[in-house]
Structure 1
Amino acid sequence: MSGTLAIIGGTGLTELPGLTISAAHDIQTPFGAPSAPVLEGELNGLRVLFIARHGHPHKIPPHQVNYRANLWALQKLYATDVIAVNAVGGISKNMKPGTLISPAQIIDYSFGRESTIFDGEFAPLSHIDFSFPYTETLRAELVRSAAKVDQKVINGGVYGVSQGPRLETAAEIFRMERDGCDIVGMTGMPEACLARELKLNFASLGLVVNSAAGKGASAITLKDIDDHLSAGMQRVRLILSQLVVDFYQS
């Protein structure tokens, strides 16, 4: 692929180890300040942009992330392709903690978030085709790169986006399951639709860190989530390191 790859780090990935930083860009956008400076540097000797979705240190709750500013800042620095890392809960039976997934679809249950640049002020009212919210070629590249480092990423599935910051009730999860959701998280939207509006290729790498409410044998604890985050993010970093190489060679 040609262009520049950007990575949005979520919970558990506020830094990108191995990134040799050449610049930290404090960009002011038409939508205010991004969550954190956009880091520009090299990973495996290749140019990468990185931004911590929740800030660094991790402090911004999902419903208060300035998604518009984050995506706009990445595009301003010439990003063409974006990988969003998401910590999620597992709904489907095969979505056990530790599972990696690149979802193909989204159902948005969030509300009240600034979700468009076509707001009549920054840009005139317009509409995007969002039938297929993720870029299939980028998702395929992600899955192939994972396989090269012996990591399995499930290709496909539906990401249900909840409001947060609280975790969901069991009834809400059962509803999402009936709707066809495989995973649940709090940050999948409006990132995906803003990327489409800004003409950025976009894919998600989801790490299942807990069984969703009512789906596990015991109550959800933050310790269990942190344990799965710690172990899983090592695998995520391995995949991203390989993806950078494959991205610029393809």
Structure 2
Amino acid sequence: MVSATPTTPDLSNARLGVLGGSGLYAMEGLEDVREIVVDTPYGSPSDSLRLGRIDDIEVVFLARHGRHHSFTPSDVPYRANLWALRSLGVRWILSVSAVGSLQEEVRPLDMLVPDQFIDRTHQRPLSFFGEGLVAHVTAADPYCGVLSRILADVGDSLMPEGRRLHRGGTYLCMEGPAFSTRAESQLYRSWGCEVIGMTNHTEARLAREAEMAYATLAMVTDYDCWHDDHASVTVEMVIENLKANATLAQEIVRMAAGRVAAQRPRSSAHHALRHALMTPPEAVPAETRRRTELFTGPYWGAAPAAEAGAS
């Protein structure tokens, strides 16, 4: 293992990122908004990023599927999205995601702040590293506990009567874009998973590598297809419940942003690479070193400049 110089990031001017999922394609309440186009080593993000302010913190909003919902869960450019957020100084991410429920007590129109996930995807790049640079981050607790508590506390205070915010639970991330079969749904229930979605695992893994704290507000739209007393999930059902949840989700995120601004909480995610970089920097190919400099720079310094005439 390569010894990396410990760093304590300065969070005084760090920004908050908000990733909007299905049904949340814009962030209300942002002031002084401007759109930013970011080029990344991993291609273009899903959309331009919208930078504005809520209370005393700058917020960067990105619609993960694009503002016109142009990307399937498999096609979302996750690495470009997370790289772009980090390049703009984001160190905390609030993700808003639509999910199906796998347990009776987690009802449609409830919300849940997960603390674990299980990955069932198989078509996505899951790391910024490789191609001559090995890093193994710790992912035992993939969601930031501090940021998750802020989301849950705010959500608890705002949930209408008859609806509940659930603290903790396992998010099963499936590939999509089709919904589950009944057999799959029953299998995931037997594993003890609370909700099922198609995006969060990938984002949470990459956010950890990029040393950004990550938490999710999961909006429950349906009972997936396991529940005999409820109709199988349809797009119409999901959209109807998404609309019902969207206003509340916006309010929760706005208030949570204010608390992040006041607390500027430190997270173990902010130094996730401290003991994770395995390859000596001098052994890393120059192009790989340059591509990952955004993350490795605090430990290794600037990457060597590209030679003149190099492609």
TM-score interval, normalised by the smaller of the two chains: over 0.9
Q: Report the more deviating stretch, 17-26 or 237-246.
A: 17-26
- Cross-structure match for 1:174: 186
1:48 aligns with 2:64: no
Select the structure of larger CA radius of gyration. 2
For 1:1-250, what aligned pairs fall within 5 Å after superposition? 2=12, 3-44=14-55, 46-120=57-131, 124-150=133-159, 152-215=164-227, 216-250=229-263
Q: What displacement does 1:119 show? A: 1.8
CA-to-aligned-CA distance 1:47-83 (integer Å, 9 cap, x gap): 1110000001111000000100000100000000001
1:21–1:39: 8 Å Cα contact kept in structure 2? no
Output the TM-score relative to the length of structure 1: 0.95
1:20–1:42: 8 Å Cα contact kept in structure 2? yes
Q: Report the more deviating stretch, 210-219 or 4-13.
A: 210-219
2:56–2:261: 8 Å Cα contact kept in structure 1? no
Q: What displacement does 1:125 show? A: 1.4
Return the alpha-carbon distance in structure 1 between the equivalents of residues 220 and 72 of structure 2: 19
Return the alpha-carbon distance in structure 2 between the equivalents of residues 211 and 146 of structure 1: 21
Sort the Cα spacing of 1:21 and 1:162 in 2 relative to 1 into closer, same or farther, 3 A. Answer: farther
Counterpart residue identity of residue 138, structure 2:
D
Q: What displacement does 1:214 show? A: 1.9
CA-to-aligned-CA distance 1:8-55 (integer Å, 9 cap, x gap): 000000111222353211111010000011110023464111000000
1:97–1:209: 8 Å Cα contact kept in structure 2? yes
2:171–2:195: 8 Å Cα contact kept in structure 1? yes
Return the alpha-carbon distance in structure 1 between the equivalents of residues 234 and 44 of structure 2: 33
Counterpart residue identity of residue 112, structure 2:
I
Output the TM-score relative to the length of structure 2: 0.77
Sort the Cα spacing of 1:115 and 1:21 in 2 relative to 1 into closer, same or farther, 3 A. Answer: farther
Q: How many residues are aligned here?
A: 248
CA-to-aligned-CA distance 1:84-115 (integer Å, 9 cap, x gap): 11100000111111010010000000112011
Identity of aligned residues (%): 30
Return the alpha-carbon distance in structure 2 between the equivalents of residues 177 and 153 of structure 1: 19
Q: What displacement does 1:150 show? A: 4.3
CA-to-aligned-CA distance 1:210-247 (integer Å, 9 cap, x gap): 11112252232222211110011111011011111111
Secondary structure at 2:187's aligned position in 1?
Answer: helix
Secondary structure at 2:200's aligned position in 1?
Answer: coil
Counterpart residue identity of residue 240, structure 1:
V
Superposition misfits of 4+ residues, deviation over 4 angstroms = none
1:149–1:242: 8 Å Cα contact kept in structure 2? no
**Runs of 5+ consecutive residues of structure 2 not aligned to the other structure:** 1-10, 264-311
Return the alpha-carbon distance in structure 2 between the equivalents of residues 244 and 188 of structure 1: 20
